[in-house]
Structure 1
């Protein structure tokens, strides 16, 4: 999704274009970057002879949402417990000014919490996945302008060979350079499609070499390691908790089989940032997937057998977790939420003591 208007609208405006598909040999030395390749392996959502896709990239959004909810909830609780309580129950007075003032406080500090809870229930997606269709040599994805909320997402299918990759340095944060893929009108050079992969945690040249290797090379040349590359049915999961576990598993904090190991580490870490992880897990669940669209389904030819790419299968415990029936996962997250609520209540009470 385009967040700013400083991206290229014409080929002449590309910041730092790199090799286009099939125009030069792939620099395989980039695929020796252990840290970046491990990261990409952990981000793979699907990889098979038909299509490759990654989990939607998140950067600061869920941390911001977590902090917003925490601080707004804290001040909202403080206001009701102290200020409103003092006016109503101590002084016994509640004038028109107090009513207006209270309404403004609720709007300013209560809206983030209300929106957060609404999102968890509504499951409204704000991210989309890009599907690299190997046999068809196409890329499928959904698009909708950021500010046009009422406009439905539109399915886009572009030819892989028409891609212009570009390294767009963020003018607001020079430390990050995400990979951007463009498609331009062959006659005018005007940009017609803009694909933002938005993964700030990996070298964009390595990411592009990884994608090119998948699309242009035999399966055995793609550096996929089954130790890191797992099957994540996040978008079809009935369990928000199982999706939240993905975050920990990608960090190596939890085992990949959802067996309930390393519980204490999850309690310590999860209790502090549980809201942010649940917010991110919510978007994993409801991400817009082009693969579910019939126009993309008919492009697929893989029969689901004999995947040449090594990837960890879903264990019985994981399958139960994604169905919402793994009691170890459910109890863990219920405890985390209760600890989280307890910490919040303690902070409000301590502040008003």
Structure 2
């Protein structure tokens, strides 16, 4: 089988590296669901599941945390330099030094605090980073938004493909053979050229289990899908008006908080989130700004479920959670405001301690 470099994806169906079973091609291997860690992880990642549609929360990559670390380091160094210049130079009020000081300040801000400015801009703009895929069971289609990574200024385009045309493949990474993400392709049946590429990449789950999970939803009765109703939550994250409620998800997915948004367990969240507030807020923003193909008229007309009698055991949204996602739950809001203030205080203390 021909292969391309690991940094590139297949352009022709013959270049796929490790194809899996195509839809409806053979019996689903339910033994894969015996892996509790993978199955529970997929339950945590479910955004919505009903007779019409299955969606997962887009995976949150580690390099976003690296960017957050860059923001912290940059801001920290900027404050150190600023205070050192301010304290050690007594002649800063002279004309020549003042001009130099302003130019240096602008240069430092531009080079060191650009990530912080971009982060604040992202929190306001809510630009999607990852694509969300909608598996439409009754219509046997997959809908998603697509935009080339090299065309950041171009709008997302809605794509709708037939589920039965998907060709699953494990992309093997040369320098990390343990990481074999799931990729789904659609090819021109005459030429074999790839026409659609769905990057269902995830660092935290076995791709074969993930593909079996998708196949079970699309091809089997609801009872065959291994849903844990204590883990799988119906969070309306990408339509939420509250960044704080979305940021809470990381704690609830890991069992550190209850699922009612009642405001209990505040001490745990304050202890953890005050140290990583920006990272969690950025992840909350990532969930909040996901593109929703389901809102597009061409997708909405494919949906037939009336919202009643969901055969999948998803925990319903509590009144407290509804208030939280509307930004009106004062306990959630107060907890995150205090966490942010603690976070800022810790960094202010670090700067003062370093320069004392």
Q: 3-state SS of the aligned residue for 2:22? A: coil
2:15 is aligned with 1:13? yes
Normalized against structure 1, the TM-score is what? 0.95
2:293 is aligned with 1:266? no
Partners of 1:51 and 1:256 lie apart in 2 by: 23
Partner residue of 1:250 out of 249, 253, 268: 253
Q: 3-state SS of the aligned residue for 2:122? A: helix
Partners of 1:236 and 1:146 lie apart in 2 by: 24
Instruction: Quickly say closer, same or farther: Cα 1:314–1:171, change in 2 above 3 A.
Output: same
The corresponding residue for 1:294 is 297
The corresponding residue for 1:113 is 116
Partners of 1:336 and 1:279 lie apart in 2 by: 14
Matching of residues 1-353 of structure 1 within 5 Å: 5-87=7-89, 92=94, 94=97, 98-353=101-356
Instruction: Quickly say closer, same or farther: Cα 1:114–1:290, change in 2 above 3 A.
Output: same
Deviations 1:189-244 (A, max 9, x none): 11111101122101100000000000000111001111111001111111100000
Q: State the 1:68 CA deviation.
A: 1.3
Partners of 1:85 and 1:191 lie apart in 2 by: 62
Do 2:92 and 2:101's aligned partners in 1 also have CA atoms closer than 8 Å? no
Do 1:47 and 1:53's aligned partners in 2 also have CA atoms closer than 8 Å? yes
Partners of 2:164 and 2:62 lie apart in 1 by: 32
Q: State the 1:97 CA deviation.
A: 5.2
Normalized against structure 2, the TM-score is what? 0.95
Partners of 1:88 and 1:174 lie apart in 2 by: 58
Q: 3-state SS of the aligned residue for 2:111? A: helix
Give the root-mean-square deviation of aligned CA atoms: 1.6
Report the count of equivalent residues: 350
Partners of 2:108 and 2:251 lie apart in 1 by: 36
Please, which runs of 5 or more residues in structure 1 have no aligned partner?
A: none
Partners of 2:177 and 2:78 lie apart in 1 by: 36
Q: 3-state SS of the aligned residue for 1:317? A: helix
The corresponding residue for 2:3 is none
Deviations 1:64-116 (A, max 9, x none): 12201111110111121112553465574516655544333221101011111
Q: State the 1:257 CA deviation.
A: 0.8
Do 1:128 and 1:289's aligned partners in 2 also have CA atoms closer than 8 Å? no
Deviations 1:13-38 (A, max 9, x none): 11111100011110010012111111
Do 1:62 and 1:277's aligned partners in 2 also have CA atoms closer than 8 Å? no
Structure 1 range deviating more: 55-64 or 19-28: 55-64
Structure 1 range deviating more: 259-268 or 41-50: 259-268
Deviations 1:126-159 (A, max 9, x none): 2221000000000000000012112110000000
Partners of 1:172 and 1:298 lie apart in 2 by: 44
